[in-house]
Structure 1
Amino acid sequence: MSPDPSRSWSASAAPTADPYTRRPVVGFGEPEGYDERGRGRALGARARLRPRSAAVAACVVLGFGLIGGAVTGSWLTGDSAEADTAGTFAAAGALWHSVPVDQLFPPTVAGRGAGPGGADRTWTRVAVAPDSGCEDAFDPLLREVLAPAGCARLLRATYTDATQSHVTTVGLLFTKADAAAMDALDRRFEKERLERRADLMPRPYPDEGTAAAHFGARQRASWTVSVLTDAPVVVYAVSGWADGRAVDDPQPAADAVRPGATTAPAQAGLGHEAQGLADRIERGLRRTVGPAPEKTS
């Protein structure tokens, strides 16, 4: 049977080698979805329901779908005045297991005006990490900072630019936190300027046989971390050169995109790579259920 591209992340991934440490295998029942390179995985056999049971199940699913769709739609359109805040927050946090990988991390991402001087960018996905927990996904200090929010699921993908000179890993950390905890985490990041600390850079996700094969810890050049307060999600991105060169002085994207920045990551546009891709993946997250107005870069 050919793979169904509409399937979600709910899949059991085979163990893969990780340049930092081997992650535990995470199973979710039905062996469906995508493998570590974003390729469709064959669907497992489903148990048959009796006609009566199937009808009841369909009604229940339809009811929850209508409720969840209405609630999530309010979040996506940004209408916080009329939205059921608690329901909206919960619906957004459940998107990771109901939305296909190609919606959260499209095979190609257009970045109109996202490059230095307003130049256009196009990113192509070269690797998709199996959905996982956070135990081995972050450096110890960043993991400690994010710990109060908890980790429900971590989704990651790595992209390359049109010239295959740069690589960027973008991640969506779905937390277990409520709105108050996300607000507190966001305030801490802002007050302590944690998104600018080089010892709190996210880890990249490399993949053998791709442009990201040599994208390791020492290759991190620029990064951004954004704590959402209207959803239990932390969005981040980290960029570097595809040729595997080490970076001795990485620079946060917020500084690297400033006019006149003279560091190597800034002049290479790696701050724009991280910031531009993270922004567009976040926008895509907000568009998953219905259209929403976008802010111009």
Structure 2
Amino acid sequence: MSTEAQRAPVPPGPAVPPPAPSPTGAPSAPPAGDLPPQAPGTRPADPPPRATLPADPPPVETTARLRVVPPTGPAAPPPPATRRRPVGAVDLTPRPGAAPAPPGAYYAYAETPVETTTRLRPVKTRHPARTAAAAACVVLGLGLIGGAVTGSWLTGRSAAEPGDDDAYTVGRSVWHSVPVDTLFPRTLKGDGAGPGATDRTWTRLAVAPDSGCAAGLDPLLLKTLRPVGCARMVRATYTDATSSSVTTVGLVLTEGDAAKMSALSTRFTDQRLDARADLMPRTYPAEGTVAAGFGDGQRASWTVHVLTEVPAVVFAVSGFADGRPVAEPQPAAAAMAAGATTTPALAGLGHEAKGVADRVERTLRRTVTDLVEKPE
């Protein structure tokens, strides 16, 4: 439609009869939905303004925590696991067979972590016997340590210092750990060792191979030394400066401890076993020397000494170098006594046996002491 058509006057409508007067004389209101008549060519009046209501206040944001309402009805079994959900996912679907939730109810299911941890290795139950054995070992170890500390305190000697056990251990193995020239020097000096305190010098003729005690001891003497045992025996034969006498000296290295050696020494002293002719040690005749004829029948004097600080028994036996027999052998202590007139005493054979044995014994003591006190 054009603008001119819109602006053309509206033709008057059919005449509307005036409203019938009301019983009160006031004009009645027009029928509902009818508009009051307008003059031709006039613009319809605007409708009266509508009353405005006050605006609603803006909504207030709340952060009230929703209360979890447990579902009613019997508990349904958890849904079967079909697949693994991502970490932190929450399954909000109702469980199968669950009763419908009341209006306004909210459900929140617990998260099901999908992380897995390494399966722990099962630990075996400790056996009571093992526990008791471990406890006993601990108690025993503490007791040993305490005993060692107490023993060191009582003796006034620390564990680092050498003791009797060291001397016995070293002395028992000295026969193969020390050169033969150390145990049996080629020359022995005997200042004041002869009759009347005269000087003596002895030269080594031969060294016997190390052996057991049966080769160098009579059966009865071997039986007497049985309580301490015989680990090894070493011997050598010497002659004096004039080659008129010969002497065999030996070391019996025992297996006994300090207590057994002390008991054996006491027995020899109390029972005077060192003076018995049936306990006289044997000789070592060296072939090709002046001692070649030095046998059992040529034994004239002897000595036997049991040591207590070293596991050893030192012995020596002397005789004439020309092989003459001696009818009545005499112990060295008796042959060295003042006023003795026996053949061994007059020939000084008691001094020979005692002098050679003492020098070898001193060498043994000094060697063991040096080995024990040797710094690491």
Mapped contact 2:167–2:369 kept (Cα < 8 A) = no
Question: Which deviates the most, 80-89 or 163-172?
Answer: 80-89
**How much does 1:83 deviate?**
4.5
Q: SS where residue 87 of structure 1 aligns? A: helix
SS in 1 for 2:202: strand
Point out which structure has higher relative CO (alpha carbons under 8 A, 6+ apart).
1
Q: Which amino acid aligns with 1:288?
A: T
Q: Which secondary structure state, in structure 2, belongs to the residue aligned with residue 167 of structure 1?
A: strand
Query: Matched residues in 1 for 2:272 and 2:368: separation?
Result: 32
**Counterpart mapping for 1:111-260 below 5 A:** 111-260=190-339
Task: For 1:87, give the aligned amino acid.
Answer: D
Using the alignment, how far apart are the partners of 2:168 and 2:288 within structure 1?
39
Tell me which amino acid in the other structure corresponds to 2:285. P
Q: Which amino acid aligns with 1:276?
A: G
The equivalent residue for 2:340 is 261
Quote how far apart the aligned CAs of 1:290 are: 5.9
SS in 1 for 2:293: coil
Partner in structure 1 of residue 355 of structure 2: 276
SS of the residue corresponding to residue 308 of structure 2 reads coil
Deviation of the 1:287 alpha carbon: 1.9
| Cα distance, 1:286 vs structure 2 | 1.6
CA-to-aligned-CA distance 1:114-151 (integer Å, 9 cap, x gap):
00000000000111100111122211111111111111
| CA distance in structure 2 between the partners assigned to 1:281 and 1:84 by the alignment | 23
Inter-partner Cα distance in structure 1 for 2:217 and 2:355? 21
Q: 2:339 & 2:247 partners in 1: Cα distance?
A: 23
Gaps of 5+ in 1: 1-79, 292-297
Q: 2:180 aligns with which of 101, 117, 124?
A: 101
Q: Deviations over 1:5-55 (max 9, x none)?
A: xxxxxxxxxxxxxxxxxxxxxxxxxxxxxxxxxxxxxxxxxxxxxxxxxxx
Describe the shift of the 1:128–1:227 C-alpha distance in structure 2 as closer, same or farther (beyond 3 A).
same
The amino acid of 1:195's aligned partner reads D
Q: State the 1:289 CA deviation.
A: 5.5
- Give 1:188 shift: 0.9
Determine the structure 2 residue equivalent to 1:36.
none
- Aligned sequence identity (%): 64
Matches of 1:231 and 1:204 in 2, distance apart?
A: 23
Q: In structure 2, what is the Cα distance between the partners aligned to 1:290 and 1:185?
A: 22
Contact 2:310 2:365 in 1 (8 A): no
Aligned partner letter, 2:319: G
Q: Distance in 2 between matches of 1:101 and 1:181?
A: 27
CA apart distance, 1:169: 0.2
| Partner SS for 1:96 | helix
Match of 1:287 among 336, 342, 366: 366
Q: What SS does structure 1 have at the residue aligned with 2:289?
A: coil
User: Alpha carbons of 1:182 and 1:240: their partners in 2 closer, same or farther (altered >3 Å)?
Assistant: same
Amino acid at match of 2:294: F
Give ranges in structure 2 of 5+ residues lacking alignment: 1-156, 371-376
Deviates more, 1:282-291 or 1:151-160: 282-291
3-state SS of 1:130 partner: strand
Change (3 A) 1:289 1:150: closer
CA RMSD of aligned residues (A): 1.7
Aligned partners of 1:222 and 1:276: how far apart in 2? 12
- State the number of aligned residues: 213
Task: Check whether the contact 2:170–2:368 (CA below 8 A) recurs between aligned residues.
Answer: no
CA distance in 1, matches of 2:216, 2:358: 21
Secondary structure of 2:225 counterpart = helix
- For normalisation by structure 2, the TM-score amounts to 0.55
SS of the aligned residue for 2:213 comes to coil
Rounded to whole Å, the distance in 2 between the matches of 1:98 and 1:226 is 23
Secondary structure at the aligned position of 2:283 is classed as coil
- The Cα shift of 1:87 comes to 2.0
- CA shift, 1:257, in A, is 0.8
